[in-house]
Amino acid sequence: MMMSAIESRRAMPVAAPSTSRLGGRLKRIALHGAVLLLCVVWFTPVLSLFVTTFRSESDSSLTGWWHAFVEWRPVLSNYVEAIYLAGVGRSVVNSIVLTIPTVLGTVLFSAIGAFALARMRFRGRIAVFLAMVGFQVLPPQLVLVPMLKFFLALGLTGTFIPVWIIEMGLTVPFGIFLLYGFFASIPSDLVEAARIDGASEPRIFFQIILPLSGAVLASLAILQFMIAWNHLLIPLIFLGSGSLSPLTVQVASLAQTNAGGLNTLTAATFISVVVPLVLIVSLQKYFVRGVLGGAVKG
Amino acid sequence: MSSQILQLFLGLLAVPAMAFAIILPGELAIRRFSQKRQSSLRPWIWLSPVLALVGLVIAYPLVASIVLSFRDASGSNWVGFRNFVWAFGTAMRPVLFNNVLWIVVFPLLTAMLALSAAIMLDRVKYERIARTFLILPTAMSFVAGAVIWKMMYTYAPPLQPQTGTLNAIWTAVTGKMPIAWLIDRSINNYALIFVAVWMSIGVSTLILSAGVKNIPRELVEAAKIDGAGEWAVFRFVTLPSLWPTILVVLTTQAIFSLKVFDIVYVMTNGSFGTDVIANKMYSELFVRQNLGTASAIAVLLLILASPVIFMNIKQIRSEGGE
Amino acid sequence: MANVNLRDIRKVYNHTQVIHGVNVDIDDGEFVVLVGPSGCGKSTLLRMIAGLEEISDGQIHIGSTIVNEMSPKDRDIAMVFQSYALYPHMTVAQNMGFSLQLRGGAKPEIRAQVEKAAKILNLEALLERYPRQLSGGQRQRVAMGRAIVRNPQVFLFDEPLSNLDAKLRVTMRGEIKALHQRLGSTMIYVTHDQVEAMTMADKIVVMRDGFLEQVGTPLSLYDRPANVFVAGFIGSPGMNLLSGRYAEGNVGIGDIALPVSERPSSASEGRQVIYGIRPEHLILSGDGGVPLVVEVVEPTGAETHVIGRVAGQRVIGVFRERITTRPGDFLSIACDPAKVHLFDPQSEHRIN
């Protein structure tokens, strides 16, 4: 028993090279193949959208988008139609108006809240923090009916105000959670030194904490940009599909009504994704950090 | 158009003003107090904007939704549990069943694919590029994803040219009839779920990749020296080390499947037996204008989400200090 | 510049008292070192003077004002932190000028002050750098520069040298001392290192477990430690402490009798005492001395440390001579009777 165990252990490295080198190479090939396949499957739909935006309506009704690689007859009419006839140009502006103040507010409110929770000691601190953790996963559907009643009563529906406030309110608990960890890790010596230097609390916030937190604030900003830019339900309810509709609502209504045809829809869709796509590729570092910082760690 | 621009400037001024409307005057007001008073008042001054915002947008609607769920369509009379009886009644049953399907299939599929992706990507040198491909769909709205996949799933009757990518491949490879992915009731829910998987895998992979990289190299090497093969390393080292991270992914995606709205709204709008809770709520609210049943659905979502809410709170609490 | 007076200072954290009524008077221009093992309350005391910790009870005077309720910025103090606490996003010049900027000083004036301080500390060439571009010693100097620029009444130092390597620590020790002589300000300095305390202080405050153990000049603490703790804490290696019995001008340790020139104050023949003698006060004494059983010999070059036993109790001796005795051998030693310290074994207080 003992003997055979020793023998087999000794036998392994001797027998290994020829089979395992071949096996290893096969494994490498399989690995690269699988990764490649995954990338292709994940990218093909995006590519199909992009290609279709340049195809004419008649081409698309007869052949699949891949036919463009056989016969490349690009047209720009889809974009022109989307922007001028399907209201997408207006929606771009609306999306910007919706998103920028939301992102600014989310970052400010989260930073203020995280500053209070991470850098001050008081009774109820832990309760407030845990409430924020709980609120993060609350289904947004819950807020719709009361918020709609509230803003109807104030006569503010049909403006961007309800959307800004609701989008901010839904993300701020997450934002506080994300910033809390970073703020808490800033050495207290630094804050105390500033206090001795004569800095008031708002000054410590603006001149010490915020400048040191650039990266994590950027992470929160990019995440909230994606969320607000891409949300459908809230703007659908509070802005409707009229002249104030942002891109998501506009594209969704084009898709549902089939107005303007498939190719216009694809151009509209591509316009709606181009900003977040550029952001996620160019600022991937901050996006990744935000996603990882916000995941409730195990 | 100029009204939008006006609103943008208004927002850029008003939002920061709202954030600091209490803090700065508050700081000035307590300046004369003793240090002790200052440090007991200051946290609440600084928390007040957040408490006001979250109170308005989350806490108040939470309570109001619960109240409304016991009232009638216009919210003016008490109706007891009638809305909840309806919510579990025959009309809602297929909808609830669809959500159960989502809650089971979507997190599992996402986690499994993301885990494989994370482990594979960890072993190739071009990880960053490959990862970018997986993240791309994450950057898009679910509306855009739905539009893209509506094209991918396009169905044309047999013998006509198949312009949908999937049916083109399917008919070419198998020679069988094309599939009506979004209409055929035996697969359309899975087709919708896969769109969500396609869009969510980026984030899940990021989280799991970080987990994979956190496994100490020595642990894997020790297992290999102990004679573990690839599978044994995965089964006895990788998987147990990743469990907490996998759990994070599963719960996050389970919560997502409760809330799923956009994909279904754009692709089928709930027809062909694909309705889900959130869409039902939207139609109760805007088509049937029933505040009571809409609120009951919202409360139902809350109840379904609450285990995860409490789990997260417990988790954070046990992480110590908090 | 100002005196600092601590009157019956107490600190309570969550119902646990960590500082038990401390009284210290610090004169204008004095360099006072608070020293003690970690957890003795010295840093807490310093932070209370700075205004970073609330004072549970007692009064702190800086100059003629009671500062208990004042915020740190109004106390006219400056502090150098162990971690230096330099603002990472500001240049050296901005770091040093921050406090003046907050007080609303004019730009050229701030610049002049910063340059003056930079000159004192040899930082002129580094003013536009960021903290991350500096070495540990340079950061240390910037932290001091930030304090100097304020021209405070009192400088507070919280273990400022403990993040530096041993060589640099000696250099910086000298620089801080020179700075004190140049500025003549009151300085309060916290450290756990008794060498720093001995070399820098005008006055040392030894603390343990939130109590004051002894206050005095470095040499008075060395020559006449008030109790066993101070005796063991000040001086390196620490004082030898042997238990024995006093009788007729001698202390009997086992069957060895060691002479004492000073009688215990409450002299009673046959009482138990702790006999203390510093390692450097042991002398080699040819034959007829006290036999020391050698266990370890540690030559340091300049001197030789011998660890061994006298009548079974552990003793360390430091000798100028080079000693080649091997472990297990005997070394004949003698103690200068005038340099013996006697302590009461119960109260651990000095009794001679």
Is residue A59 predicted with pLDDT exceeding 90?
A: no
Q: Work out the pLDDT band at A34, boundaries 50, 70, 90.
A: very high
**Partners of residue C69 in chain B, C-beta under 8 Å:** 34-36
How far apart, in whole angstroms, are the C-alpha atoms of residue B132 and residue A107?
Answer: 26
Domains of chain A, by residue range, sit at 16-46, 84-294
| Closest to C229 in 3D by CA, of C6, C19, C40, C12 | C40
User: Which chains reach chain C with 3 or more Cβ–Cβ distances below 8 angstroms?
Assistant: A, B
- Same domain? For B157 and B210 the reply is yes
Is residue A3 predicted with pLDDT exceeding 50?
A: no
Closest chain C residue to the Cα of B37, Cα to Cα = C69
Take residue C265 and report the two structure tokens written for it.
């104050």
Residue with the two structure tokens 């505040």: B291
Domains of chain C, by residue range, sit at 4-233, 240-343
Residue A20, pLDDT score? 62
- Same domain? For B23 and B141 the reply is no
- Same domain? For B91 and B240 the reply is yes
Residue C1, pLDDT score? 65
Q: Which CATH superfamily is domain A84-294 in?
A: MetI-like (1.10.3720.10)
Q: Which residues contact A64 (CB under 8 A, 6 or more apart)?
A: B161, B162, B163, B164, B165, B168
Query: How far, in whole angstroms, is CA C241 from its chain's centroid?
Result: 21
Q: Which amino acid is it at B131?
A: R
Q: What is the mean pLDDT of chain A?
A: 87
Q: Which among B10, B42, B68 is the end of a domain?
A: B68
User: Which chains reach chain B with 3 or more Cβ–Cβ distances below 8 angstroms?
Assistant: A, C
Specify which residues C257 forms β-bridges with: C252
CB C205 within 8 A of CB C215: yes
Residue A10, pLDDT score? 40
| Closest to C163 in 3D by CA, of C235, C81, C87, C96 | C81
Q: How many CB pairs under 8 A join A and C?
A: 54
Residue C79 to residue A211, Cβ atoms within 8 A = no
How far apart, in whole angstroms, are the C-alpha atoms of residue B23 and residue B181?
Answer: 55
pLDDT tens digits, residue range B82-106? 999 998 888 889 999 999 999 999 9
Long-range contacts for C321-329 (Cβ within 8 Å, ≥24 apart)? Answer: C321/C284, C323/C284, C323/C297, C323/C299, C324/C297, C325/C294, C325/C297, C326/C294, C326/C297, C327/C294, C327/C295, C327/C296, C327/C297, C328/C293, C328/C294, C329/C293, C329/C294
The DSSP H or E segment spanning B77 is: none
- Same domain? For B59 and B97 the reply is no
Residue B1, pLDDT score? 64
Domain contains B291: yes
- Structural domains counted in chain B: 2
pTM attached to this predicted model: 0.87
Q: Work out the pLDDT band at B321, boundaries 50, 70, 90.
A: very low
pLDDT tens digits, residue range A86-124? 789 999 999 999 999 999 999 999 999 999 999 998 989
Q: Which CATH superfamily is domain C4-233 in?
A: P-loop containing nucleotide triphosphate hydrolases (3.40.50.300)
B32 touches chain C (CB under 8 A): no
Q: Which amino acid is it at B276?
A: V
CATH of domain C240-343: 2.40.50.140
Specify which residues C331 forms β-bridges with: C292
pLDDT tens digits, residue range B134-170? 999 999 999 999 999 999 998 888 878 888 888 889 8
Residue C70 to residue B35, Cβ atoms within 8 A = yes
Closest chain A residue to the Cα of B153, Cα to Cα = A45
Residue C87 to residue A203, Cβ atoms within 8 A = no
The DSSP H or E segment spanning C73 is: none
Residue ranges making up the domain that contains B50: 2-68
CB B166 within 8 A of CB B194: no
- Same domain? For B144 and B61 the reply is no
Q: Work out the pLDDT band at A9, boundaries 50, 70, 90.
A: very low
Complex ipTM, two decimals?
0.90
Q: What percent of chain B has pLDDT over 90?
A: 48
Q: Which residues contact C315 (CB under 8 A, 6 or more apart)?
A: C240, C242, C279, C282, C292, C307, C308, C309
Is residue A152 predicted with pLDDT exceeding 80?
A: yes
Domain contains B94: yes
Q: What is the mean pLDDT of each run of 10 residues along chain C (352 residues)?
A: 90 91 94 93 94 91 90 90 92 94 91 93 93 92 92 93 90 92 93 93 95 94 94 91 87 85 73 91 84 91 91 91 86 88 91 84
- CATH code at position B227: 1.10.3720.10
Q: Work out the pLDDT band at B275, boundaries 50, 70, 90.
A: very high
B22 touches chain A (CB under 8 A): no
How far apart, in whole angstroms, are the C-alpha atoms of residue B167 and residue A118?
Answer: 54
Residue B222, pLDDT score? 86
